[in-house]
Amino acid sequence: MIELLGLVLLSFAVTSFFMVPFIDLLYFIRSKYRRPIPKGYNDATTPIHNKLLAGKDLKTPVGGGILLIFIVTILVSLYAKLNIAVQPSYLYILLFTFLSFGAIGILDDVRKVLTAFSGKYAGLKGRYIVLAQLIFALLTALGLYYYIGLNNIYIPVLGNFVIGSWYIPFATFVIIAFSNAYNISDGLDGLSAGLLLICLFALLVLASATLNLTLAGFIGIWLGSLFAFLYFNIYPSRINLGDAGSLSFGATLAVVGLLTGKILALAIIGGVFVVIAFSSALQIISKRLLGRKILAVSPLHMYLRYIGWEEPRIVMRFWLTGAIFAVLGLWIALLSG
């Protein structure tokens, strides 16, 4: 436990040291090299989003996820070299997910840093992002199945189900689902990062309870870095996570949950992400099948913003809800052994 707390504090200190210079660098790049939004870009399909987000990206740079991915990767690598008890197979899978999904969003983040835009601006087309997610999620699932040896799903009360090679498409779906759910939730200052902190605390307890010190060490380093980032990301934000961070963090959260072997606990601990993603999916299904929208705007946190809730109020309520989900998921996981 002493070592684990030390990892959290070390990661927090290192990230805090680099965060301010990194933010200053992003502001400098934006002021010196920022160019107008590309010609031909049409965001008329999301007028409500554009109104709710107007001005946010003109004032606050994205790209915080790039710094966090870099720092966490370096610290985890050093931790693996200095600790002989670390299971390399676990870290290889975690770092592959962390870096590969981060790479998907880096191009978008660079474009947003260099582009003057306001509202909802998409860089890479959605189909290319989904294709890249599918490839990397499939490779990660293959690693979990062949390299780690995972092939089962444990559900409390019902028991353990060995599903063999069906674990590969199952894990692929879970990874893509959480990557997109986290990305969708990253819309208000401090929302996604705060929810992730809560989820990771619950998963840290679970990893420690099962004596998975390799997984606990990774989570501890990630937690410390997130603490430092959240200080600058809460309302009013000085830096946003960006697509590199949101796609990477969501996918890696899923892999952490899969490595604990408690898939139901993962779904409950990350319950707010699931609800946010469901509200967005429901909106899409409604428009395609019914020809109309169920909500004026989705996902759920943007709808609450639309009906007049203040941004900090939404974030705090979602954090509290996330904490309850985390306690419930952890209770179920520990109760079932």
Q: Count other C-beta atoms under 10 Å from residue 291's C-beta.
A: 7
Q: What percent of the chain has pLDDT over 70?
A: 88
Q: Tell whether the model's pLDDT for residue 319 goes beyond 90.
A: yes
Q: Annotated binding residue at 24?
A: no
Q: Annotated binding residue at 186?
A: no
146 half-sphere exposure, CB direction, 13 A CA radius: 6
Q: Name the helix (H) or strand (E) containing 161.
A: strand 159-162
Q: How confident is the model at residue 201 (pLDDT cuts 50, 70, 90)?
A: very high
* Residue tagged 């990305």 (tokens): 183
DSSP code of residue 144: I
The pair of structure tokens assigned to 169 is 């498409």
The pair of structure tokens assigned to 95 is 């770092």
- Indicate the pTM of the whole model: 0.90
pLDDT in tens, 146-180: 999 999 888 877 778 889 999 999 999 999 999 99
